[in-house]
Amino acid sequence: MTDPNHPRYFSLVVREKLTNGVRLGITSISGLIAHGRGEAFDYLLGERTHPFAKSAVNAAAAFLLLSEKPVLSLNGNAAALSSAYFIKIAKILDCPLEVNLYHHSKKRVETIENFLGEKAGRHLLKSSKYEKMVIPGIASRRKITIREGIGKADCVLVPLEDGDRCRAMTAMGKTVIAIDLNPLSRTARSARVTIIDNIVRCMPQLALKIAEMKKFPRSRLEKISKNYDNRLVIKQALKAMCYHKNNE
Ligand code: ATP
């Protein structure tokens, strides 16, 4: 049990969720290493949500609300850390959830699907029940996707993504919204919107924003999406990381 008085309590709780995810067969061992990479960047951000991440969350909400067929893609880390918010957003947008893994195995996909369970209900596209298709230009098993899900999506939320698939989906004309603490990753640089924040902090915010902005007129959402500049957000994140480091 983690002591709430520990100075790094928050970070330890998140780690515990992930190691538990490994025990349950949801998260891969490599997922722990990927989380370590994320933690390093979060440390440089002072482990807080910055204004540039808030503006990316706004834009992400606008793009998702404007799209005709949004889909939320989940991997093992996202499922262990934020599944409740993925389900919440799927319900608000009335859109599908698809499990898609870099370190793919049929068993792990099913374990995650069972973990999401009844709470996800009809929003979860169960891998065994749908026709698959291949996203061209990807070496990993992540190229295999559900035709009715990511295959037909015009906008995809992809937390903790790998750069290959992000680029390939962008090349297919999809609007890609990434959550990635590393502003230098290929994913961060190729997505239309990159939320440079910890998934555990930004997913609750994204759910709130989508619910709030659902009432906005289309013209207002279009203005938010048009004015959003991902390159500027990446620059601001890099600046914030250097500033925090130099002002300790
Ligand atoms: P790319 O292929 O895009 O260049 P990569 O190979 O560094 O990126 P992976 O190891 O496939 O990326 O994925 C892990 C990514 O997820 C890292 O960029 C890491 O910063 C990010 N990440 C890990 N944990 C979190 C988290 N809790 N919240 C947000 N981002 C995270």
Q: Rounded to the nearest whole angstrom, what is the distance from the C-alpha of residue 34 to the centroid of ligand 1?
A: 6
In a domain, 63, yes or no: yes
In a domain, 192, yes or no: yes
In a domain, 36, yes or no: no
Q: Rounded to the nearest whole angstrom, what is the distance from the C-alpha of residue 215 to the centroid of ligand 1?
A: 33
Q: How far, in Å, CA of 220 to CA of 77, rounded?
A: 33
Q: Rounded to the nearest whole angstrom, what is the distance from the C-alpha of residue 29 to the centroid of ligand 1?
A: 14
Q: Rounded to the nearest whole angstrom, what is the distance from the C-alpha of residue 193 to the centroid of ligand 1?
A: 15
Nearest to 145 by CA among 64, 63, 73, 69: 73
In a domain, 212, yes or no: yes
**pLDDT tens figures, 26-64:** 999 999 999 999 999 999 999 999 999 999 999 999 999
Tell me whether strands 144-146 and 97-99 are parallel, antiparallel or unpaired: unpaired
Above pLDDT 70, what percent of the chain? Answer: 98
The confidence score (pLDDT) of residue 175 equals: 98
Report pTM.
Answer: 0.95
- Residue 201 maps to which CATH number? 3.40.50.12640
Asked if residue 247 has pLDDT above 70, the reply is no
Domain that holds residue 216: 51-246
Into how many domains does the chain fold? Answer: 1
**pLDDT tens figures, 55-108:** 999 999 999 999 999 999 999 999 999 999 999 999 999 999 999 988 888 899
In a domain, 89, yes or no: yes
Residue 120 backbone class (left: φ over 0; alpha: ψ -120 to 50; beta: rest): alpha
In a domain, 39, yes or no: no
Q: How far, in Å, CA of 119 to CA of 117, rounded?
A: 5
Asked if residue 245 has pLDDT above 60, the reply is no
In a domain, 4, yes or no: no
Average pLDDT over residues 128-151: 91
List ligand 1's pocket residues with C-beta within 6 A.
34-35, 37-38, 41, 160, 162-163, 179-182, 185-187, 198-199
Q: Which atom of ligand 1 is nearest to the CA of 198?
A: 28
